[in-house]
A = this chain, B = another copy of it.
Amino acid sequence: MLTISQLAAYAGVTVRAVRHYHQIGLLPEPERDASGYRRYSAGAVVSLIRIRILANAGVPLSQIGQMLEADASTFAAAIEEIDRQLDDEIARLEASRKQIAQLAAGDRLALAPEVITYLDRLRDIGVSERVIAGERDSWILMSARWPDRVREWMPGKIAQLDDPQLIRLYRILSEIFESDTSDDARLVEAADILASLAEQAYRSGEIDLGEVARDDLPFDLLDALAVEADPRVQRLLDLMRERGWDGLARLERLAEPPT
């Protein structure tokens, strides 16, 4: 008769594992000797080895019991099912690996290459890092909400960066948010340019972003994000409202502009 550690050694498992199998009823509890020790027969070694073979093959312990008792066809069906699950798991992990390969640098986190290009273009134009960080966070939100649409929008956004008015706007915003003082005149200037750009876009119908619902919340969220990043953005929002526009990330015509 064998002790638990001998049994475990023969089967190549730990003593703890054997006791675990007893607990969950996978391996029957053997008789105890006078001192309460478990005493195993040679057959237990075979049982334990058969359990380990299935476990090593990735079969969950909870299914091994039934499988050892099953007939050939039931067994085969179970094997097939396990195989499918293993395959799924492998697919999941490989998807993870692909994801992780994308995460080259912290800056790129979550962003499609098109967006990275856009941010780099802003940097070229001379936009301050603070404003770029704000843009980046906005695009992280947008990407989470519309992962596919964002990539479609980017070429248009990048093309817009050729517009001298827009470049001027970004430079003014950079100056404003890079300084610690409150320069209201510059904020007014920014608002004027923004309103002008919005007016152009409105006339040419460019504002249409496709099927993105007008009342979908992310745009409010984007504005809130900007205000959080710098409270002076609130003043900008107010100025825009005076000019007949609601919001910032997504301008909404409130009324005909005062003529």
Residue of B nearest to A83 (CB): B100
Given contacts A86-B97, A101-B83, contact A49 B10 (CB under 8 A): no
Q: Which residues of chain A in 61-93 are interfacial with respect to chain B, using CB atoms and an 8 Å cutoff?
A: 68, 70-72, 75-76, 79, 82-83, 86-87, 89-90, 93
CB distance from A195 to the nearest CB of B (A): 24
* Neighbour of A41 across the interface among B53, B93, B224, CB < 8 A: B224
Q: Which residues of chain A in 84-116 are interfacial with respect to chain B, using CB atoms and an 8 Å cutoff?
A: 86-87, 89-90, 93-94, 96-97, 99-107, 109-110
Q: Is A186 an interface residue (CB 8 A)?
A: no
CA–CA, A54 and B140, complex, Å: 13
- With a cutoff of 8 Å between Cβ atoms, the chain B residues found around residue A11 in the complex are 144
Whether B82 lies near A90 (C-beta < 8 A) is no
Whether A56 lies near B12 (C-beta < 8 A) is no
Whether B110 lies near A50 (C-beta < 8 A) is yes
Given contacts A41-B224, A97-B86, A100-B86, contact A12 B144 (CB under 8 A): yes
Whether A103 lies near B49 (C-beta < 8 A) is no
Q: Is A141 an interface residue (CB 8 A)?
A: yes
Chain A interface residues toward B at CB < 8 A: 10-12, 41-43, 45-46, 49-50, 53-54, 56-59, 68, 70-72, 75-76, 79, 82-83, 86-87, 89-90, 93-94, 96-97, 99-107, 109-110, 137, 140-141, 144-145, 217-218, 221-222, 224-225, 228-229
- With a cutoff of 8 Å between Cβ atoms, the chain B residues found around residue A56 in the complex are 96, 99
